[in-house]
Amino acid sequence: MVARSRSKIGKAKRSPRRPARNNLALPLASPSAQREALADRLSQERAEAFQAALRPQGETDHPFKALHDAVREAYAACDALLDELQPDPPLACKRGCIHCCYNQVALTEPEALFLGLHLLGTRSPERLRGLADRAQALADGLKGKSWQEIGMIRHRLPCLFLEDGGCSVYPARPLACRGWNSVDERMCLLSNLSEDALTPIENHPIVREIADGIQTGLLRGASSLGLEAGYLLMARATALLLSDDPEKGVMDRSADWLDGKPFFGRKTSW
């Protein structure tokens, strides 16, 4: 699906309880240069926050907790900003609408590790092993395919975490999911039915750009600390995290990444 910007948009809704630097103070239909400036500002803020959170402060600091808290705060910042928006026309996105859950989402290393830690805390060992098998099968099926090729078959590839008509990892969903939006559910349905990777979806661009800016901030923060920083498909990341013993896999992968090792193998094909 291809995002198509909406030109007739309302204004941002401010919240007096939040710090001034977090208020958008920007119309939803602002020129692209203004939206890009906002995304750059958010990226810089998140990069600085991520650096500060993961930079060792003392011997008692626990790096896993620091990583978890840094990503959780990034998600909270994104959600708070999106809550301030008052889209016109309103978003068509709601629980039970799962058309976008048939896209294969890319996420960053911090997001992938946050997801892994979330899975450890919410799923039994048996469910994790089943998820690992499904993730590996999906990752194998996607290997070597271009984004356009994946888009052409997306109607056959539901997200690993789509369960009972909703997202089973909603609190830990990646920023790409938080930023994707549509103002017309019918267009999303037709996009899936058409099997056309280039079908346009009318949306509010600032919603995507807020999420993109914060995601870029996580990458910039990780890179500045000498950590591997890039994108990979969520199916591939999940398969890597849960391979062999899921609990040991998540903890080992987190430790390796925080130690500067290229666990996610950006030099290899996803």
Flag the least confident range among 4-18, 29-43, 213-227.
4-18
Flag the least confident range among 74-83, 127-136, 187-196, 216-225.
187-196
* Over residues 160-185, mean pLDDT: 94
pLDDT tens digits, one per residue of 198-244? 777 888 889 999 999 999 999 999 999 999 999 989 999 999 999 87
pLDDT at 4: 46
Domain regions of the chain by residue span: 1-10+86-264
Instruction: For residue 22, name the pLDDT band (cuts at 50, 70, 90).
Output: very low
Question: Pairing between strand 2-5 and 200-203?
Answer: parallel
- pLDDT exceeds 80 at position 26: no
Instruction: For residue 147, name the pLDDT band (cuts at 50, 70, 90).
Output: confident
Question: Distance between the two ends of the chain, CA-based, in angstroms?
Answer: 21
pLDDT at 30: 63
**pLDDT above 70 covers what percent of the chain?**
83
Q: What does the angle CA 166 – CA 171 – CA 174 come to, to the nearest 5 degrees?
A: 90
